[in-house]
Amino acid sequence: MEARTFLLLSFSLLFFVVPANGQMPGFVSVDCGGKENFTDDIGLEWIPDNQFIYGETANISVANETRKQYITLRHFPADNRKYCYKLNVVTRTRYLVRTTFLYGNFDNSNVYPKFDLSLGATHWSTIVISDVNTIEVRELIFLASFPTISVCLSNATTGKPFISTLELRQFNGSVYYTDFENQFFLSSSARINFGADSDAPVRYASQTIYLTALTAYVFYAVSNYGCLFGFAL
């Protein structure tokens, strides 16, 4: 019964993206609540989710945030259903999935949302919004076992579940290989940019990347039973 409900509530987003000059193959960037394709300042192509038949869109205005992908969002009813984005992947290939959440008081209620984020049937994280202007980020790395994956929002206890952006990044070769990748995915715990001049995020901008500081990615392995162990890469 649960599988049948999941299929009814999921919408398949089949992306055939032609990479921009500064974009690697296997990159998918979804502007949730957006209405048109656009290319951002670092050359990443963003596509809208305007074919998603569930939920509603909203525009927000946050001080000092001018990036187009954070001006819109998609929100869903606070009910007992799962609302899922389905993405095509290549089996036996590793991917990073990144989701972001910028509240911006989109519902004019000042009620900070709290809801669950899952990868398919596996709980990934509980999103707890504690500030109108702060972007919450969740990232995980997994080995694809099936030709599609689903990223789902559900179980809101306060406010409405919502999402600002959804990104998929394909890895090549054995990057982030672990002995446990068939049973677990890696969920990021922290990003630490040692020696950086500022706290500005570092994003992919070209096919040639010059490293001026060491960035450590701290992950922990997650299964249906929760956190198993942690390590840094």
Question: For residues 46 and 69, is the Cβ–Cβ distance under 8 A?
Answer: yes
Does residue 7 register a pLDDT over 50?
no
Reported confidence tier of residue 109, pLDDT bands at 50, 70, 90:
very high
The CATH H-level superfamily of 2-182 is: Galactose-binding lectin (2.60.120.430)
pLDDT at residue 5, as a whole number: 32
- DSSP string spanning the chain? -HHHHHHHHEEEE-------TT--TTEEEEETT--S-EE-TTS-EEEE-TT--SSEEEE---TT---GGGTEEEE--SSS--EEEEEE--TT-EEEEEEEEE-TTTTSS----EEEEEETTEEEEEEE---TTPEEEEEEEEE--SSEEEEEEEEEEES--EESEEEEEE--TTTT--TTTTT-EEEEEEEEEET-SSSPPP---SSS---SSEEEEEEEEEETTEEEEEEE-
Residues 25, 59: Cα–Cα separation, whole Å: 30
> What's the whole-model pTM score?
0.79
Reported confidence tier of residue 79, pLDDT bands at 50, 70, 90:
very high
pLDDT at residue 23, as a whole number: 57
In the sheet where 27-31 sits, what is the strand order?
Answer: 38-39, 45-48, 27-31, 165-170, 94-102, 135-143, 185-194, 214-223, 226-232
The pLDDT of 117-122, averaged and rounded, is 93
Residues 188, 147: Cα–Cα separation, whole Å: 23
Reported confidence tier of residue 131, pLDDT bands at 50, 70, 90:
very high
The pLDDT of 100-116, averaged and rounded, is 96
Does residue 16 register a pLDDT over 70?
no
pLDDT at residue 72, as a whole number: 96
Residue with tokens 């951002």: 40
pLDDT at residue 205, as a whole number: 52
pLDDT at residue 203, as a whole number: 65
Quick one: tokens of 201? 């995020």
Does residue 41 register a pLDDT over 60?
yes
Quick one: tokens of 20? 């921009």
pLDDT at residue 190, as a whole number: 75
Q: What is the mean pLDDT of the chain?
A: 79
Does residue 4 register a pLDDT over 80?
no
- Report domain extents, the chain: 2-182
Residues 54, 77: Cα–Cα separation, whole Å: 9
**Percentage of residues of the chain with pLDDT beyond 90:** 55
pLDDT at residue 204, as a whole number: 60
Quick one: tokens of 178? 């672990």
pLDDT at residue 22, as a whole number: 46
